[in-house]
Amino acid sequence: MRPFLTWGGYALAAVIGLVLAVVGAIYGGSEAIIRWPVDAPTVRTMASHDPGAVARGRRVAIVNGCHDCHGAALEGKLFHDEMPIVRAYGPNLSRALVGQSDAAIDRAIRHGVAADGRRLWMMPSSAFSHLTDREAADLVAYLRTFRPTGATQPRFEVGPLGRVAVLMGQFRSEPATLKAEAAMSLEEVGPEHARGRDIARACIECHGPALKGREMLKSPNLTMAASYDAQDFETLLRTGIAAGGRRVGLMTQVSPQRFNVLTSDEIAALHGYLKARAQREIASADGVAVAARHP
Ligand code: HEC
Ligand code: HEC
């Protein structure tokens, strides 16, 4: 009788079996991390009801880019397609929020835990955790003005490279990011720059919790904004065109939609804050250099 498999056949079967086992472990392990439930923090937010609430909430939504990922009518959309890492859709909030309490909506926004208890991924709650209670209450009032429209969107799909990144802890849920970044905050550089610092919260999503840049997005440390003059800085925020007429990727894409609602005064205050922060960094670097020369 002919053997069922030759030795070469056995070796090939073993290799295939091993590959399948590794793929299965990566898939199963990452899926467990993605689905792992979390204790939901208690939130007591109630939407604002005063006459200016919706207009204020709309501004918070625009500056923070809610529509960039959730669509103009909050109908949801595909906003990030980078297979084999991840393909992500903003959910259809016009439908998802029906029946959710104001507090549950705020918990998703500022804590990264959805109404059904799942931890959110790819939703920048770690950046929105810097919103004040008042801003969150206004924002919920604004979200409530949208009527259900469009289809339900799929949840994000994680490709093989994305799954490896999940297992290595490089691609994290928002509650995990919140925990990891809890100790980092926007530097205080004096009361005269408090307003600018307030506006700089809108830059955290992509430039990081201390505005030192995010490796994944290749966004720079915002000390470099000190090299901008006032006019070029305002042009960058309003049009996304960087000094010297350059287009700068995601920054160029989001600025006209988000930052054009800022007043010129606000842009100047933001620039003032970033320059003061940069001066401090240079001064402390000089201090270190001087200390090294004169031990
Ligand atoms: C970079 C893209 C992005 C931005 C910007 C963004 N979101 Fe999201 N949002 C998502 C994704 C993706 C999910 C679903 C995540 C998941 O299922 O793990 C989500 C989920 C949510 C949920 C939970 C919905 C549910 O299913 O119960 C709410 C509420 C929400 N976002 C509100 C907002 C608000 C308000 C803003 C602006 C302040 C905002 N989002 C900005 C991507 C984004
Ligand atoms: C949605 C993500 C996103 C947000 C929000 C964002 N940025 Fe950026 N920004 C980027 C990325 C990515 C780059 C690098 C782009 C490149 O070099 O291709 C960048 C580059 C820059 C640069 C350097 C431009 C140059 O000369 O090369 C400045 C200055 C800047 N951002 C300021 C800001 C400020 C101030 C805010 C907040 C008001 C902000 N950004 C918010 C993504 C973002």
Using the mean position of ligand 1's atoms as its centre, give its distance from the Cα of residue 72 in Å: 13
At residue 274 the predicted structure's pLDDT band, cuts being 50, 70 and 90, is very high
Using the mean position of ligand 1's atoms as its centre, give its distance from the Cα of residue 123 in Å: 5
Would the pLDDT of 191 be above 60?
Answer: yes
Please name which of 173, 72, 183, 86 lies closest in space to residue 123, comparing C-alpha atoms: 173
**pLDDT (tens digit, 9 = 90+) per residue, 6-38?**
888 889 999 999 999 999 999 999 998 888 888
At residue 39 the predicted structure's pLDDT band, cuts being 50, 70 and 90, is confident
Residue of the CA atom closest to atom 25 of ligand 2: 242
What is the rounded distance in angstroms from the CA atom of residue 224 to the CA atom of residue 114? 36
Please name which of 112, 255, 85, 89 lies closest in space to residue 178, comparing C-alpha atoms: 112
**Which domains are seen in the chain, by residue range?**
53-173 (1.10.760), 191-287 (1.10.760)
* Ligand with minimal distance to 120 CA: 1
Question: What is residue 85's predicted lDDT score, i.e. its pLDDT?
Answer: 94
Question: What is residue 286's predicted lDDT score, i.e. its pLDDT?
Answer: 73
**Half-sphere exposure of residue 120: CA atoms within 13 angstroms, side-chain side:** 25
What are the structure tokens assigned to 83, written together? 């297979």
Question: What is residue 37's predicted lDDT score, i.e. its pLDDT?
Answer: 81
Question: What is residue 58's predicted lDDT score, i.e. its pLDDT?
Answer: 98
At residue 278 the predicted structure's pLDDT band, cuts being 50, 70 and 90, is very high
Contacts of the segment 45-48: beta carbons below 8 A, 24+ positions apart: 45/102, 45/103, 45/105, 45/106, 45/133, 45/136, 45/137, 45/140, 46/102, 46/103, 46/137, 47/102, 47/137, 47/140, 47/141, 47/144, 48/134, 48/137, 48/138, 48/140, 48/141
Q: Does ligand 2 lie within 6 Å of residue 234's CB atom?
A: no
How much is the pTM? Answer: 0.93
Best residue among 33, 62, 70 to mutate for probing ligand 1's pocket (most ligand atoms within 8 Å of CB) is 70
Q: What is the atom index within ligand 1 of the atom nearest the CA of 119?
A: 18
What is the rounded distance in angstroms from the CA atom of residue 196 to the CA atom of residue 200? 6
Token pair 């999940």 is found at 166
**pLDDT (tens digit, 9 = 90+) per residue, 199-248?**
999 999 999 999 999 998 999 999 999 999 999 999 999 999 999 999 99
Question: What is residue 36's predicted lDDT score, i.e. its pLDDT?
Answer: 85
Using the mean position of ligand 1's atoms as its centre, give its distance from the Cα of residue 266 in Å: 26
Question: What is residue 3's predicted lDDT score, i.e. its pLDDT?
Answer: 65
CA distances from 262 to 73, 124, 268 (A): 22, 21, 10
Would the pLDDT of 271 be above 80?
Answer: yes
- The dihedral formed by the CA atoms of 180, 121, 186 and 52, expressed in degrees to the nearest 10: -140
Residue of the CA atom closest to atom 41 of ligand 1: 66
**pLDDT (tens digit, 9 = 90+) per residue, 172-190?**
999 999 999 988 989 999 9
Best residue among 97, 120, 201 to mutate for probing ligand 1's pocket (most ligand atoms within 8 Å of CB) is 120
Question: What is residue 182's predicted lDDT score, i.e. its pLDDT?
Answer: 87
Using the mean position of ligand 1's atoms as its centre, give its distance from the Cα of residue 37 in Å: 18
Instruction: Write out residues with Cβ below 6 Å of ligand 1.
Output: 61, 64-66, 68-70, 79, 88, 90-91, 93, 96, 105, 108-109, 114-115, 120-124, 128, 139, 143, 155-156
Would you say 109 and 139 are in contact if contact means Cβ atoms under 8 Å apart?
yes
Q: What is the atom index within ligand 1 of the atom nearest the CA of 120?
A: 18
**pLDDT (tens digit, 9 = 90+) per residue, 104-143?**
999 999 999 999 999 999 999 999 999 999 999 999 999 9
Would you say 138 and 57 are in contact if contact means Cβ atoms under 8 Å apart?
yes
Please name which of 209, 203, 198, 204 lies closest in space to residue 269, comparing C-alpha atoms: 198
**pLDDT (tens digit, 9 = 90+) per residue, 45-100?**
999 999 999 999 999 999 999 999 999 999 999 999 999 999 999 999 999 999 99
Neighbours of 151 (CB within 10 A): 9
Please name which of 100, 91, 99 lies closest in space to residue 120, comparing C-alpha atoms: 91
Question: What is residue 57's predicted lDDT score, i.e. its pLDDT?
Answer: 98
Residue percentage of the chain with pLDDT more than 70: 96
Q: What is the atom index within ligand 2 of the atom nearest the CA of 258?
A: 5
Question: What is residue 292's predicted lDDT score, i.e. its pLDDT?
Answer: 60
Question: What is residue 288's predicted lDDT score, i.e. its pLDDT?
Answer: 66
What is the rounded distance in angstroms from the CA atom of residue 177 to the CA atom of residue 161? 19
Would you say 68 and 258 are in contact if contact means Cβ atoms under 8 Å apart?
yes
